[in-house]
Amino acid sequence: MSLLISESIGFKIKNLREYLNISQKSLCEGVCSQAYISLVEKGDKNISADILFKLSRRLGVNINFFFEYYESQRDDYIQITMENIRSEVSKRNYTQVRSLIKNEKYNPLFSSSMHVQQFFKWHEGICEFHLGEDRDKALSLMDEALGMEYTTKNNYSERELEILLSKAIIVAEKDILASIEIFEEIIHGLSLILRISDNKIPIRIYYNYSRILTKNKEYEKSNQFAKKGIILNKKHHFMYLLGELYFQIALNYQKSKNFIRVKEYYILAEQVFNILNDEQSKNILYDVFKDIHEITTP
C-alpha cells in the first residue's frame, strides 16, 4: 500500500471538509475509521493513495486537488471513447452514442471503473429519453448514475451537476416547477465547487436554466442567468452557446415587450451565428424574430 506525505494533504482535507460542512464521520464512512482521518487531518499520519482517492471522490474533487504539482495520467483509449460519446451527443447523434456504449460497456477496461460505468449509465439515460422516448426509464437511469457517486448529501462533483442538468431538462418536459427545483439545487452545488476543471459546465447550466425560467415567464431572472453565461464566455475567451444566450435574452425582452432591447440582442445573436457559420441557429433566429429580421435585412 503506497503512502503519501500527509501534512499538507491532511490540512487540505480538513479545510475542504469543513467548507462543505461534512463531518469526519460522514467523510470516512465506508472508507476508513474516524480516528484515521482525524490523525491525517492533524498531520500525524500518512494517508494511503487508495484512501485519498476515495476521499477525493466523496469530497467531489479530483485527487490532483491535493497536490501542488502533478501529471495527469489518463488512459488514452478510455478518454478518447468518452470524448467521442460527448461529441456525438453534441451532434444529437444518439443512435451512435448508444452503439458506442453497447460496444464498450462490458470491456474489462471500462467495466472495472465505477467512474466510467457512471458515465455510461448517464448517457444511456440521455439515449433512452431521445430514442426510446421513455421518460421514466431515462430518469431512473439518471438516478442510478447519481447513486454511483462518492460525494455526500452536502456537495456535488462536476459530473453529478452535469447528470442533474440532464435530469432537470428531462423533468421540464412535464413539470417546469420540479425542474426549477433541481436547477436551484444545481446552482447551489455549483457555488460550493472551489475549482471548476471544465469552465463550459457553468455556461451550460446557466443557459439551460435561463431557458426553463423563460418557460415559467420569469423573464428578468432568466436574463440574469443568461448574462452570467455571457460573462463567463468573455472571461475565458469562449463562444460557447454565446449566440444562444443572446437569443434567449432577446426572446425574454420580446415576451416582456421591451422591443428596443430585443433588437440589440437579436443583432448580437446574429453576429455570433454568422461568425460560427451556424445556419441552422440563424434560421431559427430569423423565424422567431421575423419582424426584426425584415427591418434589419437590406
Q: How far is CA 192 from CA 59, 162, 170, 185, in A?
A: 11, 15, 24, 11
pLDDT digits (tens, 9 = 90+) for 242-296: 999 999 999 999 999 999 999 999 999 999 999 999 999 999 999 999 888 666 6
Write out pLDDT tens, residues 83-100. 999 999 999 999 999 999
Please check whether residue 24 is in contact with residue 17, taking contact to mean a CB–CB distance below 8 angstroms.
Answer: yes
48: which strand partners?
3
Q: List, in sequence order, every residue forming a beta bridge with 47; answer none if it has no partner.
A: 4
Burial per residue of 234-247, b for 16 or more beta-carbon CB atoms within 10 angstroms, e otherwise: eeeeeebbbbbbbb
d(CA 245, CA 208): 9
Residue 119 CB contacts under 8 Å (≥ 6 apart), including other chains: 82, 85, 145, 159
Helix (H) or strand (E) holding 13: helix 7-19
Determine contact, residues 118/135, Cβ cutoff 8 Å.
no
Beta-carbon contacts of 288 under 8 Å, excluding residues fewer than 6 positions away, are 247, 251, 254
State the Cα–Cα distance between residues 258 and 251, nearest whole angstrom.
10
How far apart CA 17 and CA 214 sit, in angstroms, is: 36
Mean pLDDT score across all residues of the chain: 90
What is the identity of the amino acid at 172?
A
Q: How far apart are CA 8 and CA 26, in angstroms?
A: 21
Give the separation between CA 16 and CA 187, rounded to whole angstroms: 19
- Please say if the pLDDT value at position 45 is more than 70: yes
What does residue 3 show for φ and ψ, rounded to 5 degrees? Answer: -110, 150
Average pLDDT over residues 9-14: 88
Give the single-character DSSP code of 68: S
Give the pLDDT score at 115. Answer: 86
| 8 vs 81 pLDDT, higher one | 81
pTM of the model: 0.83
How far from 210 is each of 90, 138, 183, 184, CA to CA, in Å? Answer: 19, 23, 10, 12
pLDDT single digits (tens) 103-129: 988 876 777 678 889 999 999 999 999
> What is the mean pLDDT of the segment spanning 13-37?
92
